[in-house]
Amino acid sequence: MGSNKWGRTEVSFEKPRFDPGFVSALRDARHVCVLTGAGISAESGVPTFRDAQQGLWAKYDPHQLATPEAFEENPELLWRWYRWRRDLVAEANPNPGHLALAQLAELVPRLTLVTQNVDGLHQRAGSRGVIEFHGNLFDDRCYAEGCIIVHDQQAEVPVCPNCGANLRPGVVWFGEAIPENALNESFAAAADCDIFLSIGTSSFVYPAAGLADIASENRAIVAEINPNPTQHAATYDFAIAGNAGVALPKLLESIAT
């Protein structure tokens, strides 16, 4: 990527300022591709993966509760942990950042939303066609066949009604590949878009972090929205220092005026 051409913008509640050139480009965008990470959901009170280790779960390394090997060894333990996490997430609501992205999709010809989050808050905010890199916390999948199973079982470890294998939470665990369709769709969107927004993510973990590179290589404007600058902020075209729940609604206001 080249040097930061727009400069860094600090966004406050009182006087948010956005570069007019960037606002104009977003207003005229043909295709906007968005990548979101844990930061946007943290604003809704959803703990990050490691922060979720609280109470009875504080003694566990989260990496030991998110692998196929751990599930095979003790599926009851993993299901208890994931049900606890589901209860935490179920209490959260989409924040203004989630809602603003759903609204942005109505203002541009095309918006592709890729998320590293598994909480489903984008869908609850009204976003459609969300590409979930790491699956969805509220899906159940057959451990043997990988397909999503809808059921009403109350068993501690539910089983697949088709083949009898254990069901598992529908998230991507350590050591597992990102779903191929999610990779293909997100890479294609990053290559096609004219604006790429990286929101609430460290831009450190690949392959998600590589989407901004793909967009930049195809001459898209790349922008970051984060409370703290990431390692790539200085190389992005535009960077906003602020929470998504503040910056995104204000950005929408700027587009409309």
CATH number at residue 65: 3.30.1600.10
Q: How confident is the model at residue 12 (pLDDT cuts 50, 70, 90)?
A: very low
Q: How confident is the model at residue 13 (pLDDT cuts 50, 70, 90)?
A: very low
Q: What is the CATH number of the domain that holds 30?
A: 3.40.50.1220
Q: Is 14 a residue whose pLDDT tops 80? A: no
Cα–Cα distance for residue pair 11/20, rounded to 1 Å: 14
Q: Which residues contact 19 (CB under 8 A, 6 or more apart)?
A: 6, 7, 9, 238
Rounded to two decimals, the pTM is 0.90
**Residues 110 and 208 reside in one and the same domain:** yes
Q: How confident is the model at residue 63 (pLDDT cuts 50, 70, 90)?
A: confident
Q: Give strand pairing partners of 73.
A: none
**Residues 162 and 251 reside in one and the same domain:** no
Q: What mean pLDDT comes out for the span 26-41?
A: 96
With H, G, I as helix, E, B as strand and everything else as coil, classify residue 114.
Answer: strand
Q: How confident is the model at residue 59 (pLDDT cuts 50, 70, 90)?
A: low
Residue 131 has φ and ψ, to the nearest 5°, of -90, 115
Q: Looking at residue 208, what is its pLDDT?
A: 87
**Residues 149 and 249 reside in one and the same domain:** no
Q: Is 1 a residue whose pLDDT tops 50? A: no
Retrieve residue 228's tokens: 């703290």
Retrieve residue 6's tokens: 């727009």
More confident of the two residues 32 and 208: 32
**Range of the structural domain that residue 57 is part of:** 47-91+140-171
What is the domain count for the chain? 2
**Residues 144 and 256 reside in one and the same domain:** no
Indicate which residue of 63, 134, 151, 232 is catalytic.
Answer: 134
Verify whether residue 134 is a known catalytic residue.
Answer: yes
Q: How confident is the model at residue 247 (pLDDT cuts 50, 70, 90)?
A: very high
